[in-house]
Structure 1
Amino acid sequence: MKRKAKILLVDDDASLLKLLGLRLKSEGFEVGTATSGAEALEWLERDRPDLVLSDLKMDGMDGLALFDRIQRAHVGLPVVIMTAHGSITDAVTATRSGVFGFLTKPIDKEALRKTINEALAVSLPADEDDWQHSILTRSPAMAAVLEQARRIAPLDISVLITGPSGAGKELLAKAIHDASPRRDYPFIALNCAALPEQLLESELFGHVKGAFTGAISDHPGIFLAAHGGTLFLDEIGDMPPALQVKLLRALEQQEVRPLGSTRNVRTDVRILSATNRDLVAAMEEGRFREDLFYRLNVVNLALPPLRERPEDIPLLARHFLEQIRQRQATQVTGFAPEALAMLAAANWPGNVRQLLNVVEQAVALASAPVIGAQLVETILAGNSDHFPTFNEARAEFERVYLNKVLRMTDGNVTQAASLAGRNRTDFYKLLNRHGIEAGAYKDKGD
Structure 2
Amino acid sequence: MSKPKLLIIDDDESIRTQMKWALAQDYEVFLAEDRPSALTVLGREQVAVVTLDLGLPPDPNGAEEGFWALSAILEQNPLAKVVILTGRTEKENALQAVGQGAYDFFLKPVEIDELKVVLRRALHVYQLEHENRMLQQQVCSESFEDMLGNSRQIQEVFASIRKVAPTDASVLIQGESGTGKELAARAIHRLSGRRNGPFVAINCGAIPENLLESELFGHEKGAFTGAHALKKGRIESAQGGTLFLDEIGDLPLPLQVKLLRFLQEQKVVRIGGRQEISTDARVLAATNMDLKQAMQEGRFREDLYYRLGVVVISLPPLREREGDVVFLAQGFLEKCIGDNKKKIKGFTAQALRMIESYSWPGNVRELENRIRRAVIMTGGAMLTPADLELDSTYSQYAGKGLKEARNALEKDFILNAMTKHQGNITRVAAELGISRPTLYELMGKLGIDKKSLLHESKA
Q: State yes or no: 1:190 paired with 2:202.
A: yes
Q: In the alignment, is residue 226 of structure 1 matched against residue 238 of structure 2?
A: yes
Cα distance in 2, alignment partners of residues 219 and 100 from structure 1? 54
1:165 aligns with 2:165: no
The answer to whether 1:279 aligns with 2:291 is yes
**Structure-1 separation of matches of 2:40 and 2:154:** 36
Distance in 2 (CA, whole Å) between partners of 1:308 and 1:214 is 49
Cα distance in structure 2, aligned partners of 1:217 and 1:380: 57
Q: Deviations over 1:65-119 (max 9, x none)?
A: 99x94559xxxxxxxxxxxxxxxx99xx6699555479xxxxxxxxxxxxx9x76
Structure 2: gaps (5+ residues): 5-27, 31-38, 53-72, 81-119, 400-459
Contact persistence 1:271–1:296 (CA under 8 A): yes
Residue of structure 1 equivalent to 2:369: 357
Q: What is the correspondence of 1:122-137 to structure 2 with a 5 Å cutoff?
A: 122-124=139-141, 132-137=144-149
Contact 1:11 1:36 in 2 (8 A): no
Aligned to 2:344: 332
**Equivalent of residue 270 in structure 1, options 282, 289, 296:** 282
Residues 40, 337 of structure 1: CA spacing in aligned structure 2 closer, same or farther, 3 A cutoff? farther
Other structure's SS at 1:373 match: coil
**Letter in structure 1 aligned against 2:254:** A
Contact 2:217 2:268 survives alignment (8 Å): yes
**Structure 2: distance between partners of 1:178 and 1:271:** 14
CA–CA distance in structure 1, aligned partners of residues 145 and 126 of structure 2:
22
Equivalent residue number for residue 294 of structure 1: 306
Counterpart-to-counterpart distance in 1, 2:243 and 2:392: 36
Structure-2 separation of matches of 1:146 and 1:94: 30
> Contact 2:209 / 2:252 at 8 angstroms: preserved in 1?
yes
TM-superposed deviation, 1:303: 0.5
Residue 315 of structure 1: CA displacement?
A: 2.7
Could you tell me how far 1:150 is from its partner in structure 2? 0.8
**Distance between the aligned counterparts of 1:253 and 1:216, measured in 2?**
29
Kept after mapping to 1: 8 A contact 2:172/2:284: yes
C-alpha distance after superposition, 1:396-444 (max 9, x if no partner): xxxxxxxxxxxxxxxxxxxxxxxxxxxxxxxxxxxxxxxxxxxxxxxxx
Question: What residue number does 2:433 align with?
Answer: none
Cα 1:324–1:211, aligned 2, differ >3 Å: closer, same or farther?
farther
Name 1:155's counterpart in structure 2: 167
Q: Identify the residue that residue 308 of structure 1 maps to in structure 2.
A: 320
Note the C-alpha offset of 1:217. Answer: 2.1
Q: Output the CA distance in 2 between the equivalents of 1:366 and 1:262.
A: 59
| Identity %, equivalent residues | 43
Q: Give, in angstroms, the shift of residue 299 of structure 1.
A: 0.8
318, 333, 345: which one aligns with 1:321: 333
Match in the other structure for 2:265: 253
- Unpaired segments of 5 or more residues in structure 1? 1-9, 14-34, 45-53, 73-88, 103-115, 388-446
Q: TM-score, normalised by structure 1?
A: 0.60
Distance 1:343 1:239, change over 3 A: same
Are residues 40 and 138 of structure 1, via their aligned partners in 2, closer, same or farther at CA, if it must alter by over 3 Å?
farther
Shift of 1:286: 0.6
Separation in structure 2 between the aligned mates of residue 147 and residue 279 of structure 1, nearest angstrom: 24
Contact 2:385–2:392 under 8 Å retained in 1:
no
What SS is found at the alignment partner of 2:284? strand
Judge conservation of contact 1:11–1:55 (CA < 8 Å) in 2.
Answer: no
Verify the 8 A CA contact 1:342 1:376 in the aligned structure 2: no
| Paired position in structure 1 for 2:252 | 240
Q: Which has the larger radius of gyration?
A: 2
Q: CA RMSD in A?
A: 4.0
Q: Which amino acid aligns with 1:218?
A: L
CA contact (8 A) 2:189 2:242 kept: yes
Q: How does 1:37-436 map to 2 (within 5 A)?
A: 42=43, 69=77, 97-98=128-129, 100=131, 121-124=138-141, 132-309=144-321, 311-378=323-390
User: CA 1:249 to 1:328, structure 2 compared with 1: closer, same or farther past 3 Å?
Assistant: same
CA spacing shift, 1:310–1:379, aligned 2, 3 Å:
farther
- 1:97 touches 1:314 (CA, 8 Å); kept in 2? no
CA distance in 1, matches of 2:385, 2:181: 30
Offset of 1:343 from its aligned partner? 1.1
Q: Verify the 8 A CA contact 1:273 1:296 in the aligned structure 2.
A: yes
TM-score (norm 2): 0.58
Aligned residues: 308
Aligned partner of 2:232: which letter? P
Change (3 A) 1:168 1:190: same
What amino acid sits opposite 2:351 in the alignment? A
Separation in 1, partners of 2:237, 2:331: 33
For residue 314 of structure 1, report the CA deviation from its aligned partner. Answer: 2.3
